Amino acid sequence: MNVYDSQRMADALARDGYQPTEVMEEADLVLLNTCHIREKAAEKVYSELGRIRKLKEERAEKGDELIIGVAGCVAQAEGQEIIRRAPAVDLVIGPQTYHRLPDAVGRARRGEKIVETDYAIEDKFEHLPAPERRAVRSRGVTAFLTVQEGCDKFCTFCVVPYTRGSEVSRPVAQILDEARRLADAGVRELTLLGQNVNAWHGEGPDGEWGLGRLLFRLAEVPSIERLRYTTSHPRDMDDELIAAHRDLDKLMPYLHLPVQAGSDRILKAMNRRHKAVDYLRLIDRIRAARPDIAMSGDFIVGFPGETDEDFEATMRIVREVTYAQAFSFKYSPRPGTPGADMPFQVAEEVKDERLQRLQALLTEQQKAFAAGLVGKEMDILIEKPGRRTGQIVGRSPWLQPVIVDETAGEIGDIVRVRITEAGANSLFSEPVL
Ligand code: 5AD
Ligand code: SF4
């Protein structure tokens, strides 16, 4: 979502003549878009700010100006504290108020220190300018589209309900309008985003819609060929969403559905509000609807109170589900969340050891999944030139990069290929004529 937000911020600033640059030394404005989900991500902001401060000082010596801004969830969570710890920062702005960014940057340039972390009453998306066609084209044939923000689930480890606020769904018309604009500018694949995307709901012309219904509607948008959504909560996988997986060829057979842990005791302590068996049954239903669906997930090891036995239950659920890909993390206590104050925090070495074992298993499954595709045919969406001349890179339905000879098609084409080899991070293929 931060990638999407950064684009929307760039679009908002484009009106005042700002253009993105890859070279920080060239910039008049450096805006860090930050993540607060784990401590490591949040701490990185301060080391990065140290580096940027030096640049600002060098600039000042030459009589030039550099404005430093911090956006994202660290901005939201820490607000004024950021300027206290890093006085070179001119501007702190939380995710709910990006539509006010141009004004905030203007005021910062006039010497004001800005902290903008209130939840806006007005609809941010109503006030954010649509991207220019040229900007969309430069970003490629796949695009993100935020349909939902915030979360009301309050998992006890997670800061999202505090940093991103309570759940808000964007209206159907706004989403369709954005999808059409993206499609008109050449986008072929849309990934719908939300912290809890499958909790999305909206008022359709014929009553209340859920995400499944929205996907059916988006599949009708001309030239959108592929749809994805991320990230989901097991409790919000309703029948219509599962039906969308069954009936919509455009909905890619790949689902990121985090379970976090395999032990019912830990799931309860995490306030996930389902048991391991509920998750397994749900996956059975999804697989019955769409047999070629591959699973992705998130896992946390070392949540407070997690015993060896609890951890073994996580290993078991991974073996039972088999994932094509997954993210796994050591539990990181976050300020203000219930988990941070729970007794029986797990020692760092124990977390390390568990994470290593879990990741070894997940990597093995990921490799096996890729290896299992060798010899198979699939459609890929061509996205960009390859690193080697004569090659182009596409995306498999399961998000793997697939390399093929450039004669196979143009960027934006969907072409049929046969997988010839599974490499470490990508698949190799030949066109099917
Ligand atoms: N510690 C470790 N991982 C976390 N996640 C969220 N909060 C924490 C935390 N405090 C992970 C979850 C979530 C993903 C986005 O980040 O697995 O699904
Ligand atoms: Fe965080 Fe996801 Fe739980 Fe919401 S559902 S609190 S975003 S982990």
- What's the CATH code of the domain at 409? 2.40.50.140
pLDDT digit string, tens, across residues 175-227? 999 999 999 999 999 999 999 999 999 999 999 999 999 999 999 999 999 99
Q: Is the CB of 151 under 6 A from ligand 2?
A: yes
Q: Which of 329, 334, 346 to mutate to test the pocket of ligand 1 (most atoms within 8 A of CB)?
A: 329
Task: Examine the pLDDT at 122 and tell me if it is beyond 90.
Answer: no
Residues 362 and 385 in one domain: no
Residue 433: pLDDT band with limits 50, 70, 90: confident
**Residue 340 and residue 323: Cα distance in Å, rounded?**
29
* Predicted pLDDT at 121: 80
Residues 244 and 152 in one domain: yes
- Among 57, 90, 116, the domain-final residue is 116
Residues 171 and 279 in one domain: yes
Residues 142 and 63 in one domain: no
Q: Among 44-53, 114-123, 197-206, 260-269, name the one with the lowest average pLDDT.
A: 114-123
Query: Residue 194: nearest ligand to its CA?
Result: 2
Residues 382 and 235 in one domain: no
* Predicted pLDDT at 119: 84
Q: Is the CB of 79 under 6 A from ligand 2?
A: no
Residues 162 and 288 in one domain: yes
Residues 363 and 382 in one domain: no
Residues 69 and 39 in one domain: yes
Residues 308 and 395 in one domain: no
Average pLDDT over residues 279-296: 98
List for the chain the helix, strand, coil content (%; round to 5): 40, 20, 35
CATH number of 239's domain: 3.80.30.20
- Spell 273-292 as b/e; 16+ CB within 10 A means b: ebebebbeebbeebbebbee
Q: Which domain holds residue 170?
A: 124-371
- Among 371, 388, 420, the domain-final residue is 371
Task: Examine the pLDDT at 150 and tell me if it is beyond 90.
Answer: yes
* Residues in CB range of 279: below 8 A, 6 or more apart: 234, 257, 259, 317
Q: Is the CB of 298 under 6 A from ligand 1?
A: yes
Residues 280 and 218 in one domain: yes
The pTM for the full model equals: 0.96
- Among 84, 116, 148, the domain-final residue is 116
Chain Cα centroid distance, residue 74: 16
- The rounded Å distance from CA 148 to ligand 2 centre is 13
pLDDT digit string, tens, across residues 35-48? 999 999 888 999 99
Residues 81 and 174 in one domain: no
Averaged pLDDT score across all residues of the chain: 96
Domains in the chain, number = 3
Residues 397 and 299 in one domain: no
**Residue 297 and residue 295: Cα distance in Å, rounded?**
7
